Amino acid sequence: MKHNFGAGPGILPRKAIEKSAQAILDLNGTGLSILEISHRSKDFDAILAQTKSLVKELLNVPDNYSILFLQGGASTQFSMVPMNLLPVGGKAAYVESGVWASKAAKEAKLFGNVETVASSKDRNFCYVPTTYAIPSDASYLHITSNNTIYGTQMASFPESNIPVVCDMSSDIFSRPVDVSKFDLIYAGAQKNMGPAGVTLVIMKNDIHGKSGRAIPTMLDYKTHIENDSLFNTPPVFAIYVCMATLEWLKEIGGVSSIEKLNTQKANLLYSEIDSNPLFKGTADVDSRSKMNVCFLLEKPELDESFSALLKDNGVIGLKGHRSVGGYRASLYNALPISSVEFLVSLMQDFAKKNG
């Protein structure tokens, strides 16, 4: 048995994988594979409608928001957001809480002025900034809810008198959020929603179209709203897997239910890290992520032995990001608590033998 703690693409529910595998062979008795059906067909119309309906239901998306399925990953949204929302000569505010937040701000600077209102770069992004002033003359505030590389997460979201844009790539659907507090949410699917290849955008209908600049057709949110994400051929299979994953999430009780399980998983692992003399966490306690748990060995010389132990026992994806090293356990929705229990038992055994 494999225990997949990979940071992304992350683990998917077995039920969703099996349903998607069957659809590759034969979609609903059509005699066609999901890989070869037309994106203009009634079969895909039903898939797209069901996926949108599940997003709306699970996140309680208000009626005055559009739900889009786009390509290019969250990294393309780094450009699309300012291109569509930042007026020529205007200013945007960014909270720099990690590498991806920094990359988003870098792209925004191509389209206007960017004010970094807060940053945790001074301590290698081991905490989430919480105290900062939001400039009233900025067109929007950009935040990142969870930082996969450094294992930090926003416990709560800022109250803002300007539009709020949030990159929720690595923790969307892991906990309830009040969508009405955000003007635009974007998320790459490959953590909690589905496979790589599709990006979810949830946006207030009146937020775009005010930049005063010419926007390439494919990078204009208006294009995708007016064409129901079907302006060009969408990633049909990736959307289907998202549908199957969200159906699974609904069946097990939805976002509120999965939040309880995610909290149990995180508490279990953090408790072991804090009590085990061989390990230490890297993120400040009040900024710890429930999705990505980052930690180090107190004795770096034991890294090779611990890594070998993980490999021998089928634990994969635990290696930390190349920029920070150490270990990172990603506890995405589909990861069973039994995998966390197994990892904890290995850590305990390792400490007994090497303490």
Q: Is residue 344 part of a domain?
A: yes
pLDDT at 126 over 90: yes
Give the domain-ending residue among 219, 251, 283.
251
Looking at the structure, tell me whether residues 117 and 262 fall in a common domain: no
Which residues are the active-site residues?
A: 100, 167, 191
pLDDT digits (tens, 9 = 90+) for 39-83: 999 999 999 999 999 999 999 999 999 999 999 999 999 999 999
Q: Give the C-alpha separation, 51 to 168, whole Å.
A: 18
Closest CA to 239 of 284, 298, 193: 193
For residue range 190-240, what is the model confidence (pLDDT) as tens digits? Answer: 999 999 999 999 999 999 988 999 999 999 999 999 999 999 999 999 999
Mind spelling out the 3-state secondary structure of the chain?
Answer: CCEECCCCCCCCCHHHHHHHHHHHHCCCCCCCCCCCCCCCCHHHHHHHHHHHHHHHHHHCCCCCEEEEEECCHHHHHHHHHHHHHCCCCCEEEEEECCHHHHHHHHHHCCCCEEEEEEECHHHCCCCCCCCCCCCCCCCCEEEECEECCCCEECCCCCCCCCCEEEECCCCCCCCCCCHHHCCEEEEECCCCCCCCCCEEEEEECCCCCCCCCCCCHHHCHHHHHHCCCCCCCCCHHHHHHHHHHHHHHHHCCHHHHHHHHHHHHHHHHHHHHHHCCCEEECCCHHHECCCEEEEEECCHHHHHHHHHHHHHCCEECCECCCCCCCEEEECCCCCCHHHHHHHHHHHHHHHHHHC
pLDDT above 70 as % of the chain: 100
51 with 134, same domain?
yes
In this structure, are 187 and 204 located in the same domain?
Answer: yes
Looking at the whole model, is its pTM more than 0.85? yes
Q: What is the pLDDT of residue 201?
A: 98
- 8 domain residue, yes or no: no
6 part of a folded domain: no
Residue 130 is predicted with a pLDDT of 95
User: In the prediction, which pLDDT does 324 show?
Assistant: 83
**Final residue belonging to a domain, choices 251, 286, 315:** 251
For the segment 124-140, the average pLDDT, to the nearest whole number, is: 97
Q: Confirm whether 312 is domain-assigned.
A: yes
243 and 265 assigned to the same domain:
no
Are 263 and 170 found together in one domain?
no
CA 127 to chain centre: 18
Q: What is the pLDDT of residue 323?
A: 78
Together in a domain, 121 and 232: yes
- Is the confidence at residue 326, as pLDDT, over 80? yes
pLDDT at 343: 98
Q: In which band, very low, low, confident or very high, does the pLDDT at 355 lie, cut at 50, 70 and 90?
A: confident
User: Distance between CA atoms of 234 and 163, rounded to whole angstroms?
Assistant: 28
On the question of pLDDT at 125 being above 90, the answer is yes
Q: Is residue 1 part of a domain?
A: no
pLDDT given for residue 30 in this prediction: 94
- Decide which of 218, 251, 284 is a domain's last residue: 251
Q: What is the mean pLDDT of residues 18-39?
A: 97
Same domain? For 270 and 215 the reply is no
Average pLDDT of the residues in 117-123: 97
Q: Domain of 260?
A: 253-354
Residue 85 and residue 147 in one domain = yes
Task: Output the average pLDDT for the chain.
Answer: 97
Q: Are residues 121 and 183 in the same domain?
A: yes
Asked, for residue 9, whether it belongs to a domain, the answer is no
Single-letter amino acid, residue 342: F
CB neighbourhood size of 178 (10 A): 10
Whichever domain contains 187, its CATH number is 3.40.640.10
Residue 322: band (very low, low, confident or very high) from pLDDT cuts 50, 70, 90: confident
> For position 115, what pLDDT does the model report?
98
CATH number at residue 257: 3.90.1150.10
Residue range 123-142: mean pLDDT, rounded: 97
* pLDDT band, residue 1 (cuts 50/70/90): confident
Q: How many domains does the chain have?
A: 2
Residue 137 has pLDDT above 90, yes or no: yes
Whether 177 and 281 map to the same domain: the answer is: no
One domain for residues 55 and 147: yes
Where residue 292 falls among pLDDT bands split at 50, 70, 90? very high
Question: Is 2 part of a structural domain of the chain?
Answer: no
Q: Are residues 213 and 74 in the same domain?
A: yes
Q: Is residue 185 part of a domain?
A: yes
